[in-house]
Amino acid sequence: MHESLEFFVTCPKGIEGLLLDELTALGAESPRETVAGVSMRGSLELGYRICLWSRLANRVLLVLNRFAVTDAQALYDGVAAVDWTAHMAADATLSVDFGGILPGVDNTHFGALKVKDAIVDQLRQADGSRPGVDRQNPDLRINVHCRSGEAQLALDLSGHSLHQRGYRLQQGAAPLKENLAAAILIRAGWPQLAAQGSALADPMCGSGTFLVEAAMMATDMAPNLQRERFGFSRWLQHQPQIWDAMLADARQRAEAGLARDPLWIRGYEADPRLLQPVRNNIQRAGLTSWVKVYQGELATFEPHPDRGQAGLIVCNPPYGERLGEEASLVYLYQKLGEVLRERCTGWQAAIFTGNPDLGKRMGIRSHKQYSLFNGALPCKLLMMDLQPERYVTGASGGTSAAQPRSQSPGDPQTGAPREPAAVAEPAGAARLSESAQMFANRLKKNLKNLGKWARQQGISCYRVYDADMPEFAVAIDLYDDWAHVQEYQAPESISEDKARSRLQDVLVALPEVLGIPASHVVLKQRLRQSGSKQYQRMDRKGEFLTVREGQVRLLVNLTDYLDTGVFLDHRPLRLRLAAEARGKRFLNLFCYTASATVHAAVGGARSTTSVDLSKTYLDWARRNLSLNGLSDLHKLVHGDVMQWLEEDRGEYDLIFIDPPTFSNSKRLEDVFDVQRDHTHLIEMAMARLAPGGTLYFSNNFRRFRLDRALEEKYQVSDISAQTLDRDFQRNTRIHRTWSITRRS
């Protein structure tokens, strides 16, 4: 009972030091910190105590043997050297966890199989009965780890990982594990604050893990008191009398803690669907008198403890792993900082994030930062004293951002309202760094000049900024009261951190300068496209806005693809087509969403034919036509343009071709290359052009050179300058356009 045994206790990476302190307090002998765990010695009673009381451990491994190992056979022999009849019955079940590196063992499954065979072969009975395998709830869980020629063979006393306390059956989309949440609270000094009677609040509580773990600490409740089963429950050397006495003592301590006046522990969650699951978790933990949760947005969060005491704000805000999420997250963190500065002065804050750069947007200097891991993702715990001297000068105040100038239209098919494309709390007046202020000043200048021109021309969608300042390499297009931001790929000379910082400065400045809500900013990254990446989908929101251009209305989607459905730089050319189309047969090749076709049709074209290989874009084109009251007489063709031209025998008076730089196709070795293939493309299209007709050819490949043979054969005019409005004249190479007709 009091024999000194060897244990290895595992934990999440980054909290080994905290676990060492915890195990020392629980009575560990000679504890030694290692990567993702602590090795130690102690009695079996200590092993039980860790299983019940450790808030930080994952597994408690009782080491049965250590032996030299060189290959799979040595592994088998070392496991077989243990007397397994002392640990499990012949009809019991087992599961094996194998890890590490061992010559001849290429995968963990094979290693686990050799360990299992060594145990089963020893326990096999004369009648053929033998232990079985149960990966979910085995009677005994065996752990083997091989490293540097040595194998550690251990019995897993915990069974399922100890972070699974048993109270959290329902959880949010990205929950923290319970022991990581406990580590964050310990790092934040919550046990000491709780002893002083302080309050705790989580403004974005999700599944309520911080709240429950905090209340268990405050009530002296053993974290695994609710667990029904441990790895030692059916172990033949289990000592029930020791365990039962320990359980009884833990229950008495919890009852005494729960009988005290509750601390003020509150959580707030914006999603009403999560409230009941959170309350169920709290009820299963037996803490309903200590923890309360309410529905509430971050914008309305304001802690009001019963006794007016300050305490700890703990929060795990989203930090996003996709670029497109960052547009909203910049404002979310900015709003979180604004709320903490304005409503929580005197408190302490612990903000856990996988994106520390976003934490800088809060406008509060952290006095400590701890490195932790959420699974494999490196994260930071930002500790903040919410005192005015810690607030960054010039941080955003309480003024609300401008509201939308017009309500977003409903879905074009159903008319139902939609959610915004990038969801974020409305931000206050933006906190601008010196470099961000420089960007804001340039944007204001552009907006003043281009805005006046756009209003005079009746243009509501235009480019207001296009990398005018090289250090802010973005393009910004306005779609009524939405901003579509495209980040250009930074040169190799610019570090990733610097590029990210500059992008965040842009996102902070935009709502203030443009007078739009932060939720109306959509961010994308424009990389060099190649191969199958060309038209890859970015999201699946399926949300459309209706915009007006000239006499037509067009649908744009700001989130799902790199392009929005309307190439704004082709606006003058589309208007030109509309002016020339009356009474003509119009052909649109590589039609995309057929915005040019809509212009031609509304302009009075006798007929239109539009060809594209994408069913998605043709469906979009069909809705654009319907939106403008145009019937099915306007033909949409699903097919490869090159193949279709070879087979078509129609005649057209006005042809528009705007091919991609490259495109996957069924012909031309499966790839269309505009430089290589444009001569053949134009020749086939000119064969379909009626006498007196005009073909407009355009593309945006910057190194494109029109074949001189075409200029010798046809009347070719470079009209690029005529097809650039004021908003694109800063970048005259954004596209090239030629008018091509037959020679007289």
Phi and psi torsions of 366, nearest 5°: -80, 145
From CA 739, how far away is CA 725, in angstroms rounded? 18
Give pLDDT, residue 327. Answer: 61
Q: In Å, what is the CA distance from 652 to each residue of 584, 592, 647, 737, 744?
A: 8, 19, 15, 19, 18
Residue 496 pLDDT grade (very low, low, confident, very high; cuts 50, 70, 90): confident
Q: 62: Cβ–Cβ under 8 A, 6 or more apart, which residues?
A: 5, 6, 7, 44, 47, 154, 155, 156, 157
Of the candidates 93, 95, 139, the one whose C-alpha atom is nearest the C-alpha of residue 115 is: 95
DSSP SS3 for 180: helix
Q: What is the mean pLDDT of residues 673-683?
A: 95
SS3 650: coil
DSSP 391: B
Burial classification of residue 365, based on how many CB atoms lie within 10 Å of its CB (0-12 exposed, 13-18 middle, 19 or more buried): middle
Lowest mean pLDDT among 210-224, 233-247, 248-262, 386-400: 386-400
- Could you read off the pLDDT of 552-589 as tens digits, one per residue? 999 999 988 888 999 999 999 999 999 999 999 999 99
In this prediction, residue 143 carries a pLDDT of 96
Give me the pLDDT at residue 240, please: 96
Give the pLDDT confidence score for residue 488 in this predicted structure: 87
Q: Which two tokens stand for residue 462?
A: 């235009």
Mean pLDDT of 260-269: 95
The pLDDT tens digits for 611-629 are 999 999 999 999 999 888 8
Question: Is residue 553 a contact partner of residue 628, using CB atoms and an 8 Å limit?
Answer: yes
Q: How confident is the model at residue 394, as a pLDDT?
A: 58
Q: What is the mean pLDDT of residues 225-234?
A: 93
User: Is the pLDDT confidence value at 519 over 80?
Assistant: yes
Residue 221 has pLDDT above 90, yes or no: yes
**Do the Cβ atoms of 180 and 12 come closer than 8 Å?**
yes
Give the model's pLDDT for residue 537. Answer: 54
Mean pLDDT, the chain, rounded, equals 88
Q: Going by C-beta distance under 8 Å and a sequence separation of 6 or more, which residues neighbour residue 375?
A: none
Contact assessment for residue 589 and residue 650, using Cβ atoms and an 8 Å cutoff: no
Rounded distance between C-alpha atoms, residue 726 and residue 383, angstroms: 49
CA distance 161 to 142: 13
Please give the domain boundaries of the chain with CATH numbers for all domains: 5-156 (3.30.2130.30), 178-220+262-390 (3.40.50.150), 434-529 (3.30.750.80), 567-741 (3.40.50.150)
Q: For the chain, give me the number of helices (H) and strands (E)? A: 19, 30
Interval 701-722 mean pLDDT: 95
Q: Please name every residue paired with 61 in a beta bridge, in sequence order, or none if there are none.
A: 8, 156
Other residues' Cβ atoms within 10 Å of the Cβ of residue 462: 20
**Is the model more confident about 399 or about 262?**
262
| Chain segment 129-175, per-residue pLDDT in tens | 889 999 889 999 999 999 999 999 999 999 999 999 999 876 555 57
Picking from 417, 548, 537, the residue whose alpha carbon sits closest to that of residue 479 is 548
pLDDT of residue 538: 52
Query: What confidence tens digit (pLDDT) does each residue in 308-339 have?
Result: 889 999 999 987 654 445 666 788 888 899 89
- Residue the block writes with tokens 């509501």: 460
pTM for the whole thing?
0.73
Residues 261, 545: Cα–Cα separation, whole Å: 54
The residue-averaged pLDDT of 700-716 equals 95
Q: What is the pLDDT of residue 670?
A: 64
Model confidence at 406: pLDDT above 60: no
Distance of CA 732 to the CA centre of its chain: 36
Over residues 64-75, the mean pLDDT reads: 93
pLDDT score, position 170: 62
Dihedral, CA of residue 422, residue 426, residue 429 and residue 431, to nearest 10 = -50
